[in-house]
Amino acid sequence: MLTSGGDSPGMNAAIRAVVRTGIYYGFEVHGIMRGYQGLIEDDISKLDSRSVANIIQRGGTVLKTARCKEFFDYEGRKQGYQNLKKRGINGLVIIGGDGSFRGAVQFSQEFNIPCVGIAGTIDKDIYGTDFTIGFDTAVNTAVEAIDKIRDTMDAHDRIFVIEVMGRDAGYIALHSGIATGAENILIPERATNIDSIVESLRETEKRKKLVNLIIVAEGEKFGGAYEVQRAISEKMPDAEIRVCILGHIQRGGAPSCLDRLIASRMGYHAVECFLEERYNVFVGILNNKMHYIPLENAVKTKGKINEEWLKIVKILAS
């Protein structure tokens, strides 16, 4: 098992679940350090039940994680395969995001190693699952921070542009924006229209609504929070507009109850996949039921933003 790509709170709960379920069913479970990097460098050790004690409540990942350039090359992946073969390891659990799954698809096709994925990313940018491990914690962290900024916004009658994480997806922005009562939410899935934002700011000004919150997803295509601030300032030179980039606090911290729960369930079911010979899938949850989605589908398909949510933002901002 390895954790790969960006870390997300709840990965440790998934590691614990895989180790303990694996041992329960008679498997030997090995932990690979620093994702595909450790696979290539043979940084692998056997895990027992005790080695995953007292980690369910911790953020980050005890297996560490990395982005590994060498794994993009055939030679790197071949080295990884040889290390697994040498140790008699014949299956791989990958906890990570779509990039990590892309690597797994390539690896399993080339070397016939059965792979099972667990969706671990704060960005929730994986198609076929309602949840990814870490998203709930990240959104709650963002909400807590935005609430605090709102207090100062209110005290000073200011416009705030707050940038949240999410890479190429707008889920963190959309969820945290609705939950904090944002007037505008700018996401990569939708083109940003500065004129319509300015229009809404002027309109709210007329109604004496002086506090205005604009949430920007980091992957938003107009150019990010500072660019949005600059463009609005150009059209509204008297407006006081502050920018805050929430950054990496959204990745850390103790996982929420929901993230621990889904990580435990996904870890358990990932091991069951090996028992049932259900390979090259990742474990997802749809309508509270476990689903096994081909890794390739997660890689090829992009999830869609619910348009109705954007309508809700507009109506509730009045």
Q: Supply the residues annotated as catalytic.
A: 123
Q: Is 102 in the site for ligand ATP (CB under 6 A)?
A: yes
Q: Is 118 in the site for ligand ATP (CB under 6 A)?
A: no
Q: Is 96 in the site for ligand ATP (CB under 6 A)?
A: yes
The least CB distance from residue 265 to ligand ATP, in Å, is: 20
Site for ligand ATP in 280-299 (CB under 6 A): none
- Quote the CA–CA distance of 31 and 267 in Å, as a whole number: 14
Site for ligand ATP in 26-65 (CB under 6 A): 36
Q: Is 83 in the site for ligand ATP (CB under 6 A)?
A: no
- Quote the CA–CA distance of 203 and 226 in Å, as a whole number: 22
Q: Which of 58, 64, 67, 190 binds ligand ATP (CB under 6 A)?
A: 67
Cα atoms in the 13 Å half-sphere on the side-chain side of 277: 0
Q: Is 72 in the site for ligand ATP (CB under 6 A)?
A: yes
For residue 94 the two structure tokens come to: 């990958």
- Quote the CA–CA distance of 273 and 265 in Å, as a whole number: 12
DSSP 255: P
Q: Is 4 in the site for ligand ATP (CB under 6 A)?
A: yes
Nearest to ligand ATP of 101, 292 (CB atom) = 101
Q: Is 5 in the site for ligand ATP (CB under 6 A)?
A: yes
Longest Cα separation, the chain:
71
The least CB distance from residue 122 to ligand ATP, in Å, is: 7
Q: Is 123 in the site for ligand ATP (CB under 6 A)?
A: yes
Q: Is 170 in the site for ligand ATP (CB under 6 A)?
A: no
- Quote the CA–CA distance of 150 and 153 in Å, as a whole number: 5
Q: Which of 80, 103, 166, 284 binds ligand ATP (CB under 6 A)?
A: 103
Cβ-Cβ contacts under 8 Å for 270 (sequence gap 6 or more): 14, 17, 18, 21, 93, 116, 117, 118, 283
Burial class of 234 by CB neighbour count within 10 A (0 to 12, 13 to 18, 19+): exposed
- Applying CB under 6 A, the residues found at the interface with ligand ATP are 4-6, 36, 67-68, 71-72, 96-100, 102-103, 106, 121, 123, 167
